[in-house]
Amino acid sequence: MNGLFNKLMQDVRFEEGLSACINCGTCTAICPAAEFYNYDPRVMADIIQTRDDQQIEELLKSDTIWYCGECMSCKTRCPRGNAPGLIIIALRSLSQELGYFTESEKGRQQLVVKRIIGHSILESGYCVFPDLVSTELHPEQGTVWKWEFEHFKEIFEKLGANYKGNGPGALRIIPKESLDEIQSIFEVTGGNKLFSKIEDFSKKKAKEMGLRIDESIDNPYCMYIYKHNSGNHNS
Amino acid sequence: MRDEGKKRIWQEYQKEIADDNYYYVRSCIRQTFFPGSEHTFVKILKEELAKNLYETPAHTTCTGIGYHSDVVPFETTMTVVARQFSLMSEAGYKNYVPSCITSFGLYTEILEIWHEHPEIEDKIKEWLWKATKREFKKPENLAHSSDIIYKFRENIASIAKYKLVNNENGKPLKVVEHIGCHYSKMFPQKGVGGAEYPYVLTGMVKSWGGEVIDYPERRHCCGFGFRQYIVQANRGYSLGCSKKKFESMEPYEPDMIITNCPGCPMFLDRWQYVISETEGKTYGKDGHGIPVFTYEEVAGLVLGYDPWEIGLQLHQVPCEPVLEKMGIRYDPAKKYLGKNGEYLGKPVSPDYLKFY
């Protein structure tokens, strides 16, 4: 029961996502990622159905599993009720569990996702908060966001938000007792353990690649994986 | 849009939406980019519809963006969601109303998983107790906040001050409706109208006088893709998805876009700016973009709320062409004022996109 396919079988997302794929390709036809990347969910499902651990290991170490946007358009259209998007979630989970994610350019990006979104959840109680969306890292946000960024308090209060205030409302400070409960949930359910694995495997990879890494977000390794695009992902 | 066949589909996909006593949970993304929309939703429910709505500062993110960018395990997300339900139970409410579509989809998925695998629900109960000493009851009714506005769309129409009608020629405004993927693509029976032709926004548009455009890529994702936007190196995916939609809708000359997902209006707004800056291309007439709105903003406009009080100044694609067409009276000089009436300066005008 230690094989990779067997490990996938233990994930309820995998169980719900793949019963019997007839390889019709409907998922690929509707998939936004298949249109943009060298990605084909039909082929991915076919590889999984071989139950061949060697092929599954190659998949777990590849860029392929990181192309999906998890929009779940595939679920609506699959004539057999499969959800390749759910299979992808299970594959990504296993890739991180085993440290295989650092073997691909797209997989390595998980460290910055963890340090941006993961840290925000634990520190503020929000996945995203305005202060996180800096104009330097998000030039696409435009000139209005830049103006907004310089006047958050005045603008948000005008619009009825409770920006960094106590009590209910949009953009409030989430009470410490609530953050403590979230932290405790992460500890009990394996959230912190996954964070540690992402950190440990990434630091090992940074060393291998000869890039400096520390606990910040703007160290050379993080900035490299955040910005680097080899250009080898699209047809 | 031709309705004949779709009416049959819409009849098949109806859902129960609670009538009153809502437990409201805010969205990370909507608060960040369009906080005025959530304020407008609360105002409409309390002041226009006289409904009871409760919220607590103790709720947190559902972790949805972390879960769908794969850095939060399912067990952790399910237990955080169980805590959200516990806060609802503690407050004495049964009708759960999330503002976020990612959350709505995740809650729906988790309730389905617990229904099919009761042993997982038992495990989550155990973990929640171990972590927080909390217990919870599942919601009796789960509806997205757009479902609530849909339910009361005719009530809103009956007290509306403006219609989605061109004031100059009396024709309905041509509206693109964009539904967040996680509203019903996973569980079509949980969305008003299903997944292929959702009716939740179409119903609002029709009740308020507009006409919905049926264009080829109406069900294509806006391109958020979670990690595909969060990581700078991947943002071409996000831009590419939105661009595909713009090119598909452009020939139909839409007056506006209405959305029900927190992220979609931001992406459809910002990527128009990026395309105009990089390619000099705009999708409206004479250098204008296609204004993008949340459904709360559109409800606020038809009810006659001041555009600058509901947050329309936060859109990069200016809303003014739609205000003009609807004949809405507004004061351009108040657009960039702060809470106390102080002038905050004007954002830099983009190079190509017409700006006000």
DSSP string, A100-138: GGGGSHHHHTHHHHIIIIIHHHHHHS-S--GGGS-TTT-
How many angstroms away from the CA of A130 is the closest CA of chain B? 5
Answer yes or no: do B42 and B128 share one domain. Answer: yes
CA end-to-end span of chain A, whole Å?
38
pLDDT for the residue numbered B11: 80
Contact A191 B72 (CB under 8 A): yes
Instruction: Judge contact between A27 and A84, C-beta under 8 A.
Output: yes
Confirm or reject contact between B128 and chain A (CB < 8 A): yes
Q: How many domains does chain B have?
A: 2
Domain boundary among B145, B179, B194: B145
Task: Supply A112's token pair.
Answer: 């910055």
* Secondary structure class of A230 (helix, strand, coil): coil
B2 inside domain: no
B101 inside domain: yes
Answer yes or no: do B320 and B178 share one domain. Answer: yes
The share of chain B scoring above pLDDT 90, in percent, equals 95
Taken in order of first residue, the domains within chain A and their CATH numbers are 4-102 (1.10.1060.10), 109-123+190-235 (no CATH), 127-173 (no CATH)
Contact A137 B232 (CB under 8 A): yes
Answer yes or no: do B192 and B245 share one domain. Answer: yes
What is the phi/psi pair of residue B96, to 5°? -90, 125
B355 inside domain: no
The whole-angstrom distance between residue A115's C-alpha and the CA centroid of its chain comes to 11
Contact A167 B57 (CB under 8 A): yes
User: DSSP secondary-structure letter at B332?
Assistant: G
Answer yes or no: do B55 and B140 share one domain. Answer: yes
Contact A143 B60 (CB under 8 A): no
B95 inside domain: yes
pLDDT for the residue numbered A222: 98
Distance CA B195, CA B106 (A): 16
A151-181 pLDDT, tens digit each: 999 999 999 999 999 999 999 999 999 999 9
Instruction: Judge contact between A213 and A221, C-beta under 8 A.
Output: yes
Strands ordered across the beta sheet of B53-54: B53-54, B22-25, B95-98, B141-142
DSSP B32-88: HH-HHHHHHHHHIIIIIS---EE--TT-----HHHHHTT-S-HHHHHHHHHHHHHHH
The pLDDT of B327-356, averaged and rounded, is 96
Using alpha carbons, list the distances in angstroms from residue A112 to A20, A109, A189, B204.
35, 6, 22, 40
pLDDT for the residue numbered B4: 77
pLDDT for the residue numbered B10: 80
**Which CATH number does the domain housing residue B29 bear?**
1.20.1050.140
Answer yes or no: do B169 and B273 share one domain. Answer: yes
Minimum Cα–Cα distance from A227: chain B residue:
B233
The share of chain B scoring above pLDDT 70, in percent, equals 100
Confirm or reject contact between A114 and chain B (CB < 8 A): yes
B307 inside domain: yes
Distance CA A108, CA A63 (A): 9
Distance CA A87, CA A84 (A): 5
Domain boundary among B94, B127, B145: B145
Task: Centre a 10 Å sphere on the Cβ of residue B211 and count the other Cβ atoms it contains.
Answer: 17
pLDDT for the residue numbered A40: 97
Chain A contact probe: residue of B70, B116, B178, B184 with most A CBs at under 10 A? B70
Answer yes or no: do B288 and B312 share one domain. Answer: yes
Answer yes or no: do B191 and B273 share one domain. Answer: yes
Chain B contact probe: residue of A140, A171, A227 with most B CBs at under 10 A? A140
pLDDT per position in chain A (235 positions), as tens? 579 999 999 999 999 999 889 999 999 999 999 999 999 999 999 999 999 999 999 999 999 999 999 999 999 999 999 999 999 999 999 999 999 999 999 999 999 999 999 999 999 999 999 999 999 999 999 999 999 999 999 999 999 999 999 999 999 999 999 999 999 999 999 999 999 999 999 999 999 999 999 999 999 999 999 999 999 999 6
B-contacting residues in A 83-112 (Cβ below 8 Å): 83, 89, 92-93, 96, 106, 109-110, 112
Contact B61 A127 (CB under 8 A): yes
Distance CA A70, CA A39 (A): 13
Answer yes or no: do B224 and B244 share one domain. Answer: yes
B92 inside domain: yes
Task: Supply B65's token pair.
Answer: 């963006």
Using alpha carbons, list the distances in angstroms from residue A107 to A93, B186, B227, B231.
11, 25, 10, 11
Domain boundary among B123, B145, B167: B145
Answer yes or no: do B327 and B193 share one domain. Answer: yes
A-contacting residues in B 281-320 (Cβ below 8 Å): 308-311, 313-316
Task: Supply B11's token pair.
Answer: 């009849």
B35 inside domain: yes
B242-252 pLDDT, tens digit each: 999 999 999 99
Answer yes or no: do B113 and B212 share one domain. Answer: no
Contacts of A228 in chain B (CB under 8 A): 233
Distance CA B87, CA B70 (A): 26
Average pLDDT, chain B: 97
What is the phi/psi pair of residue A225, to 5°? -70, -25
Confirm or reject contact between B189 and chain A (CB < 8 A): no
B105-163 pLDDT, tens digit each: 999 999 999 999 999 999 999 999 999 999 999 999 999 999 999 999 999 999 999 99
CA end-to-end span of chain B, whole Å?
32
B-contacting residues in A 170-199 (Cβ below 8 Å): 170-175, 177-179, 181-182, 184-191, 194-195, 198
Please report where in the chains the tokens 């990504």 appear, as a residue: A92
Answer yes or no: do B163 and B63 share one domain. Answer: no
B190 inside domain: yes
Answer yes or no: do B23 and B122 share one domain. Answer: yes
Range of the domain at B252: 153-334
